[in-house]
Structure 1
Amino acid sequence: MSHSSRTRRIAGCTLVVIALGAGVTACSSDDGNPLSATPYDAAEHISFNGPTKAGKKADPDKPLEITSEGSEGRITDVTAVDAAGRHVSGELSADGGRWHSTSPLAADAHYTVRVSTEDEDGAPGRRVVTFDTGKPRTQKRLAVTFGPEAGKYGVGQPITADLSQPVKDKAQRAIVERGLKVDSNIVVEGSWHWVDDKKLHYRPKEYWPANATLQVRSNLDGIKISDRLWGGTAKPLKITTGDKIVAIADGASHHMTVFKNDKEINTLPITMGKPGFETRNGVKVVIGKEYFVRMRGTTVGIADGTSESYDLPVYYATRVTWSGEYVHAAPWSVGDQGSANVSHGCVGMNTSNASWFYETVRPGDIVQVVNSYGKTMEPFGNGFGDWNVEWANWRKGSALVTGSPEGPDETERVRLQPQTV
């Protein structure tokens, strides 16, 4: 085929139309070449539905649509990405005649769309178009705050996302959830779980890998969530995990066994909650360490002057619930450690062992209580009991899982108080 005949064939073979529902400014084309050294121009011209008056921008509420007109060519691929690197998902018809977006465009963004085509002889074509979207009609934005703070944590540390506005509708929750990204340099299966209308937690199916790097970000900025709510900004988060530290506190044997990277490194005599003050069973996550805490029975409703009242200085206190459950030094109960449960709910040990434990663990490490007569640790609201939710039920808390409920019930928040000894 001569150059002139190819030119004639191409000029009439493909018309690409991008329908955005509004005029677009600053449109341009680029005959870049990802497929061939001499790609042909895939369209004689590009047109947009709606006004093309200078200063007009595309409506981000409208889907992006690209069609190929003419029988001699078809679309083979479309890539649409904004200046922040966010890709627009889309579907291409089986005959290559139409591509349309399936994820929303961001407001107030600059997009580059690359359309690849193929003529009847299999020769590749290319067309690149840029456009801007307008600002949302409302200024109500959904800000996201990720937690915990940047740093190194244990393998049990969940990721949290606090929203500035409540999101109740499941379809809107799905938009939010798709925009919240958690990446690990070691691949794991994980999921977000809606704790309530304004909070999500993310955890993997099993504990995080040891010595991993986790990066959390939001792609919601400028994305429409509802008619009155658009995605806002969020500061990205980077944390790392340390060694895998898991401590198993056994209420029957009255000992705690500590494992590092699945190898036992210490066994410590302990005492746990006595009848009426039983230590909670289940998996708990270390949420803080306090060298000194003054613990008073009045914080858990024990009146001064009664047989159960106490007011004690406590050292090497490793916190596992907001309501005041710790692993700490309890020199007053050394005679019962390893043989009986006599505390008001905490895990007590001698001062030397408590100091060793305090120096060994960090926030995010695991303390698992077994064989206590206490209730199971709450999943939310009193620290991180996330790991007490079976994986199948955890996944049901995601808005992206078929058959999941509209969202879990609101969880009562527990006030931060020193509590048990």
Structure 2
Amino acid sequence: MAFTRLRTLRRRERTVVRSGRGKAAVAVATLAVAAAALSACSSYSDQVHASGEFVDMVRPAIAVTDDGGKPLGKDAIGVQPGKPIVVKATEGALTGVNIPKANGTPVKGELSDDGSTWTSSEPLGYDKRYTLQAEAIGVGGKTTTSQSFTTQAPSNLTQAYILPGKGETVGIAQTAGVRFDEAIPNRKAAQDAIKITNTPKVDGAFYWISDREVRWRPEHFFKPGTKV
């Protein structure tokens, strides 16, 4: 409606130039139309700012997934405890994420530089129920979410021993290893559950020396002072 009125105003302005008659009356009419048009624009703008639909469009949304991007539904069961939980906000930034453990302490996680994504950095427990709470804020206001999930209950748990031991000083060619207390039928699953980090970063690969022990060898010798 406002656009139509603005076009009418232009036609009347051209009439004033052509006729040269009744200029004062036409000018008054033109001002009246202009005032009506401006009033319509102001009214329309107020309606947009007050619209609940507009606010909903820019209200932050929070999504919870695994590290592969698969949505983590409410009351999900069988969640892999060794895989990170990812919380992502769109149209806003996360202001808080909390996954309390049984003792009340929160699961550790890292927030991205832009504040939009939080990723858990410690493994969850087996056969445990967690309740995740997250909050995000943006132009459209604040959004909160809460959802529970239960981790996988394995049919069997094996004990693992890390080699070399914690805090040991070793040579630059030393391999890292894990020894299990029983034979491992699914070697790939065992390797996927092991995470090797080092500073400065060095790539490497796994190899098995028996059905109970896997080793990780660096592609190149470690630099002196490397932490693994």
Q: For this structure pair, what is the TM-score category when the shorter chain's length is used for normalisation?
A: 0.3 to 0.5
Q: Which has the higher helix share?
A: 2
For the pair shown, the structure with the greater C-alpha radius of gyration is: 2
TM-score normalised by length of structure 2: 0.45
